[in-house]
Amino acid sequence: MGQLIHTLPEGEPVSGVTLLAGEIYLLRDKERDQVEVYDVVTYRLQRCLTVPNARRFVDMTSCEHNRCVYISDPVVKCVHRLDVQGAVTRWTVNDEPWGLSVNAAHNVIVACVEVRKVKAFSTHGDLVRELELPDDVNDPCHATQTRSGQFIVCHGGLDDPVHRVCMMSDDGRHIVHSHGRQPGSDTGQYDMPGHLAVDTNEFVFVVDYNSRRVTLLSPTLEYVRQVVSRDQLKWWPDRLYLDRQRRQLYVNENELNDEQDTFTAGRVVVFSV
């Protein structure tokens, strides 16, 4: 089980967390100063950055090669690109972007939840590749690409009959390996798996929103163990980031107002794994 080593400050709901150039980038749902930047060693706040003309944030990822972070905005149907100097540009996705990751070729992998597609873009928004997923892969929230080129996708929305993690064939048409089935909280089940992280040995971390936990899977998506339990979390987890070098897992969690179905506060917790 992962050991809790730090908690970043509570505040507005958190939409994503990532690392870039030795700093933690934390994305909050507010009008200005949405990106809070912390030192990775001391956890002290360094500065805040504003993403102009944004409407809604869903996820954030980073690229050391291009020295920037990417932020998905499904309302504008775009990805915002924020470099380490603070310059912000954006490029269109033409569908609603959801979860983001970066592959070994430094392309941005975008899960398009409504149309069951995974798209790959260059750092400046040129479409590199597009995969249409099988009909039974509903609501793909997040996708990542392994070094060998295969895509791993987590999917399953509130009313979907199947919630699981899938490894796709190279063309995206077939499921090679999978873990999960109907929604539930057993070790072989998920209840809205929302985000993935892959370590250097291609083991897969999966954040499970309604079960409030993080699960570790083998490179062929076999169950290994639970890494973070609901007892270690205060609220509802939906995004994560793995610092491979330090073996630290960043999990963002948000407080949910059930009556209004909105998040009212958020934070990031850091675990040693």
Q: Residue 257: what pLDDT?
A: 85
| 244 beta partners | none
pLDDT in tens, 51-99: 998 999 999 999 999 999 999 999 999 999 999 888 999 999 999 999 9
Q: Residue 261: what pLDDT?
A: 76
Distance CA 167, CA 206 (A): 13
Q: Is the pLDDT at 168 greater than 80, yes or no?
A: yes
CATH number of 3-272: 2.120.10.30
Q: Which of 53-62, 170-179, 237-246 has the lowest mean pLDDT?
A: 170-179
Q: What is the pTM for the complete model shown?
A: 0.95
Percent of the chain with pLDDT over 90: 88
Q: Is the pLDDT at 210 greater than 80, yes or no?
A: yes
Distance CA 137, CA 160 (A): 9
Q: Residue 202: what pLDDT?
A: 94
Q: Is the pLDDT at 260 greater than 90, yes or no?
A: no
Q: Is the pLDDT at 233 greater than 70, yes or no?
A: yes
Q: Sketch the domain layout of the chain as residue ranges.
A: 3-272
Largest Cα–Cα distance of the chain, in whole Å? 46
Q: What are phi and psi of 259, to 5 degrees?
A: -65, -40
pLDDT in tens, 126-152: 999 999 999 899 999 999 999 888 999
Contacts within 8 Å (CB) and 24+ apart, 206-213:
206/154, 206/165, 207/237, 207/238, 207/239, 207/240, 207/251, 208/237, 209/236, 209/237, 209/238, 210/183, 210/185, 210/236, 211/185, 212/236, 212/237, 213/237
When comparing pLDDT for 40 and 169, which is higher?
A: 40
Distance CA 240, CA 260 (A): 25
Give the CA count within 13 Å in the CB-facing half-sphere of 141: 25
Residue 125 is encoded by which pair of tokens?
Answer: 């928004």
Cβ-Cβ contacts under 8 Å for 221 (sequence gap 6 or more): 152, 165, 166, 167, 177, 178, 179, 204
